[in-house]
Amino acid sequence: MGGTFDPIHNGHLVAASEVADAFALDEVIFVPTGEPWHKKPVMSAEHRYLMAVIATAANPRFTVSRVDIDRPGTTYTIDTLTQLSSERPDADLFFISGADAIAQIVAWKDYAKLWTLATFIGVTRPGHKLQLPEAPEASMSLLEVPALAISSSDVRDRISAGKPVWYLVPDGVVQYIGKHKLYRGEN
């Protein structure tokens, strides 16, 4: 499950749970991006990583990996998948992310090689229709997840406007954001 997670919210968690159920996955590894080439995250990698750990702590099938935030330089999914597959040589890997992100995959580094490493699952918000790029058969799927009506940008906007985000993000993450005064505009 790759994403910036800036911050992680309940839509991400429901999406992970739905994909795990639909594709009979044993484990979902949340992989916060380090330095994306296409944008600068609002919050530091360590804050985004710790919020992902807090959000997933209660689920025995959810884990969080530091591979992207510990690897120096720009984050490319080809490197993420290469590293994860060498750590888990017998695993059948699926790469889950927002369908908007996966729709751009043809522009990603070494994209032709990506298909050999994982099956790609794009999760969509309700009502969003997307045309996926051509991919080898069975290597790319879309799954609509109604809970993805929640978005990280909306959560950030609500916090900076002083509005509550209870029930949009897990309780522990609300408390972490409050404790560290994140997303208030000054950090």
3-state secondary structure 169-184: ECHHHHHHHHHCCCCC
**At 119, which helix (H) or strand (E)?**
strand 119-124
User: Please, what is the minimum distance in Å from the beta carbon of residue 136 to ligand NAP?
Assistant: 18
Buried b (16+ CB within 10 A) or exposed e, 163-182: eebeebbbeebbebbeeeeb
Closest residue to ligand NAP, based on beta-carbon distance: 98
HSE-CB of 114 using CA atoms within 13 angstroms: 25
Which residue's CB is nearer to ligand NAP, number 12 or number 176?
A: 12
User: Please, what is the minimum distance in Å from the beta carbon of residue 85 to ligand NAP?
Assistant: 15
User: Please, what is the minimum distance in Å from the beta carbon of residue 116 to ligand NAP?
Assistant: 15
Placement of tokens 């060498």 in the chain: 86
Which residue's CB is nearer to ligand NAP, number 42 or number 176?
A: 42
**At 29, which helix (H) or strand (E)?**
strand 28-32
User: Please, what is the minimum distance in Å from the beta carbon of residue 180 to ligand NAP?
Assistant: 20
- Residue 54 CA to residue 153 CA, distance in Å, equals 20
Which residue's CB is nearer to ligand NAP, number 151 or number 180?
A: 151
Please compute Rg for the chain using Cα positions.
16
Note the residues at the interface with ligand NAP (CB under 6 A): 1-4, 12, 15, 33, 36-38, 75-77, 96-98, 100-101, 108-109, 123, 148, 151-153
Token pair in block for residue 161: 């406007």
Token pair in block for residue 96: 């889950």
User: Please, what is the minimum distance in Å from the beta carbon of residue 155 to ligand NAP?
Assistant: 8
User: Please, what is the minimum distance in Å from the beta carbon of residue 26 to ligand NAP?
Assistant: 18
Which residue's CB is nearer to ligand NAP, number 141 or number 152?
A: 152
Which residue's CB is nearer to ligand NAP, number 139 or number 151?
A: 151
Which residue's CB is nearer to ligand NAP, number 147 or number 176?
A: 147
Amino acid at the residue 43: M
